[in-house]
Amino acid sequence: RAGQAEVEKNSDNGGGGSGGGGSGGGGSGGGDSGCGGSGGGGSGGGDSGGGDSNRSNRGRVEVIPAAARVWVVGLEMLTRRVCGEDMSAVNKYRWDDTYESVRLQDIPYYRQLTVPVQVFNFDFTQPPEDVGVGAGLYGHGRTTYPSAARVEAEVIGKGVLNAVVFWFDLILDNHSGERISNAPPGIFP
């Protein structure tokens, strides 16, 4: 084949072929990736050097992260004393309907008032919901993951619930159980 001959000729000189070299990426003329990558691409077709190895890997795509969970917990965050001075009077002026980013490990004056609740569970290995009419993703209209939810949380302490803290857990794959989380320390679902 012309594409394969071109790659073999270039690989003798340490160069990649028109199929993208070692990355297996596409190229304008197709060709051989030489590394078992996708090769192909472009308009010229091509072969990955392994004969049918490309065909045997089709359908084995792994999405990372595979899933995500979003959690919330209700807290009381009242200012009490700052440098020994009673600052509790500022609490009635401090809070509004906006949000701010905080690191709970840096805040000494919060109390957990609810049990953590899972708000969302996203499975990135599946297409998102179809939410409208039109020419969106997959040809079924606008698709999206949910962005709002209403939840109920069990109250476990008395106080002024004036802060809702949220965090996420990323589940890296569907078989190892490995995850990454930005959960606040000391608050567990």
For residue 65, whether the previous peptide bond is cis, meaning omega lies within 30 degrees of 0, is yes
Task: Give 90's strand partners.
Answer: none
> For residue 186, is it within any domain?
no
Q: Please tell me the pTM assigned to this model.
A: 0.60
Nearest to 146 by CA among 61, 47, 70: 70
Same domain flag for 51 and 142: no
> For residue 165, is it within any domain?
yes
The DSSP bridge pattern shows strands 110-112 and 117-123 to be unpaired
Structural domain tally of the chain?
2
**Helix runs in 33-164, H state only:** 53-57, 91-94
Token digits of residue 53: 């190895």
Domain range for 131 is 67-181
At residue 105, the pLDDT reads 86
Element (H, E) at 85: strand 85-86
> For residue 189, is it within any domain?
no
At residue 123, the pLDDT reads 93
Cβ proximity of 73 and 186 under 8 Å: no
Chosen domain end from 22, 45, 61: 61
Same domain flag for 13 and 90: no
What span, in angstroms and rounded, lies between the C-alpha atoms of 53 and 46?
13
Q: Looking at the chain, which runs of residues are DSSP E strands?
A: 67-77, 81-82, 85-86, 110-112, 117-123, 129-130, 143-144, 163-171, 179-181
Same domain flag for 158 and 71: yes
Same domain flag for 80 and 57: no
Same domain flag for 137 and 45: no
Same domain flag for 18 and 82: no
Cβ proximity of 57 and 42 under 8 Å: no
Same domain flag for 55 and 74: no
Give SS3 for 111.
strand
Q: What is the CATH number of the domain that holds 157?
A: 2.70.160.11
Same domain flag for 40 and 74: no
> For residue 188, is it within any domain?
no
Residue-by-residue pLDDT tens, the chain, 189 positions:
343 333 333 334 444 333 333 333 333 333 343 444 444 444 444 444 455 555 666 667 889 999 999 999 999 998 888 899 998 888 888 777 788 888 888 888 899 999 999 999 999 998 877 555 554 555 555 667 888 899 999 999 999 998 999 999 999 998 898 999 999 888 876
Q: Residues 119-137, buried b or exposed e (16+ Cβ, 10 A)?
A: bbebeeeeebeeeeeeeee
Same domain flag for 5 and 46: yes
At residue 106, the pLDDT reads 86
Token digits of residue 109: 């004056």
Same domain flag for 100 and 155: yes
Token digits of residue 155: 């109250």
Chosen domain end from 37, 61, 85: 61
> For residue 155, is it within any domain?
yes
Cβ proximity of 29 and 20 under 8 Å: no
Element (H, E) at 3: helix 2-12
